[in-house]
């Protein structure tokens, strides 16, 4: 974008930015108004990179259950959400969804109502709903087995509390949810183009002879990558990707003509751990290298050029 002399905030070049989990934090950071200056976004891309490089060790730094013996028997490894909430408060302050500078959409799952939730500032039903952006960021990233659910208040209906978990439970790739939302809004579907950005596919295999020996706790063990959650989220992401590619691109092969394009790749040994809470300097460096490889790929460059030219 900068090479094309496009210097406006990144979110202003998109009609809608959607995200789930860590992608939800990114979407909110790019679209929320800065609590210190409501005329500019809370974050730009460089500030978000700094968040993950320098704050991730704080987010995954305090194990909630101090009973180490219990953790050895029941390996839940649940972290305190206090550091994450403090970081989100500092980043987003009292910025509200109704004051967002660009259109956003994030997902979460309401555990008491047992229903998927979509939070956005551009609604098809015209109802006015309002939330603290920090609360939405906390809700969309409340990863099962790592953090407690988020308890958030509705600013438009004080006292009505929601209990929310990570939206990856149903939309780890939120592109399909975003497309559905554009349909509800009545957008001309032939003019909708989606750039989908992944965070790396988990590459570790779960071998038959290993899985057959597991008990119920092994299926939710963070030391194994929380297998049941990992499998469900990766499967949903893959199905969404294949569906959108089929519906929006049909049999097109020319990148310039495709309306749905995704950049993602497999996390390989030596190029980033698939452990959500691996915040070691070595892994962060590997993830940067992984991102560099993705961005230097000729096909991915063509994808980014297409969207930069459209902006």
List of residues 6+ apart from 265 with CB closer than 8 A: 198, 200, 201, 290, 293, 294
Mean pLDDT for the stretch of residues 241-252: 93
Which has the higher per-residue pLDDT, 2 or 309? 309
Q: What are phi and psi of 138, to 5 degrees?
A: -65, -40
Tracing tokens 């995200």 back to the chain, one arrives at 19
Which has the higher per-residue pLDDT, 268 or 244? 244
User: CA-CA-CA-CA torsion for 18, 23, 26, 32, nearest 10 degrees?
Assistant: 40
Mean pLDDT for the stretch of residues 140-167: 92
pTM beyond 0.85, yes or no = yes
Helix (H, G, I), strand (E, B) or coil at 117: strand
List of residues 6+ apart from 300 with CB closer than 8 A: 263, 294
Mean pLDDT for the stretch of residues 229-244: 92
- 53 vs 118: CA distance, rounded Å: 28
pLDDT of residue 64: 66
For the cut 80, the answer to whether the pLDDT of residue 127 exceeds it is no
Beta-carbon count within 10 A of 1 CB: 14
Q: Give the chain's mean pLDDT.
A: 89
Give the rounded distance of the alpha carbon of 177 from its chain centre: 13
Taking phi over 0 as left and psi of -120 to 50 as alpha, with beta for the rest, 299 belongs to alpha
pLDDT of residue 123: 85
List of residues 6+ apart from 131 with CB closer than 8 A: 96, 97, 119, 152, 154, 155
For the cut 80, the answer to whether the pLDDT of residue 217 exceeds it is yes
Query: Residue 265 corresponds to which tokens in the numbers above?
Result: 């790749």
pLDDT of residue 175: 97
164 near 150, Cβ under 8 Å? yes
């Amino acid at each position: 974008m900068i090479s094309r002399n496009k210097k406006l905030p990144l979110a202003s070049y998109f009609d809608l930015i959607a995200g789930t989990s860590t992608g939800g934090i990114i979407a909110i950071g790019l679209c929320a108004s800065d609590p210190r200056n409501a005329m500019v976004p809370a974050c730009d891309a460089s500030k978000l990179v700094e968040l993950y490089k320098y704050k991730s060790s704080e987010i995954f730094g305090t194990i909630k259950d101090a009973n180490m013996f219990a953790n050895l028997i029941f390996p839940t490894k649940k972290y305190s959400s206090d550091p994450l909430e403090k970081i989100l408060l500092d980043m987003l302050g009292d910025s509200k969804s109704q004051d967002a500078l660009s259109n956003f959409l994030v997902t979460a799952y309401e555990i008491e109502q047992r229903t998927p939730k979509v939070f956005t500032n551009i609604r098809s039903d015209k109802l006015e709903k309002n939330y603290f952006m920090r609360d939405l960021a906390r809700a969309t990233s409340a990863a099962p087995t790592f953090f407690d659910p988020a308890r958030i208040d509705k600013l438009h209906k004080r006292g009505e509390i929601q209990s929310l978990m990570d939206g990856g439970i149903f939309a780890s790739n939120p592109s399909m949810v975003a497309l559905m939302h554009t349909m509800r809004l009545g957008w001309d579907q032939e003019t909708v183009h989606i750039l989908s950005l992944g965070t790396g596919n988990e590459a570790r295999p779960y071998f038959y002879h290993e899985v057959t020996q597991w008990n119920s706790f092994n299926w939710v063990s963070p030391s194994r990558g929380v297998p049941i959650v990992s499998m469900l989220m990766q499967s949903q992401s893959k199905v969404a990707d294949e569906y959108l590619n089929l519906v929006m691109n049909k049999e097109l092969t020319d990148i310039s003509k495709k309306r749905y394009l995704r950049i993602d790749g497999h996390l390989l040994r030596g190029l980033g751990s698939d452990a959500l809470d691996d915040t070691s300097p070595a892994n962060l460096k590997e993830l940067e290298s992984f991102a560099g490889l993705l961005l230097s790929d000729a096909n991915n460059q063509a994808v980014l050029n297409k969207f930069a030219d459209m902006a």
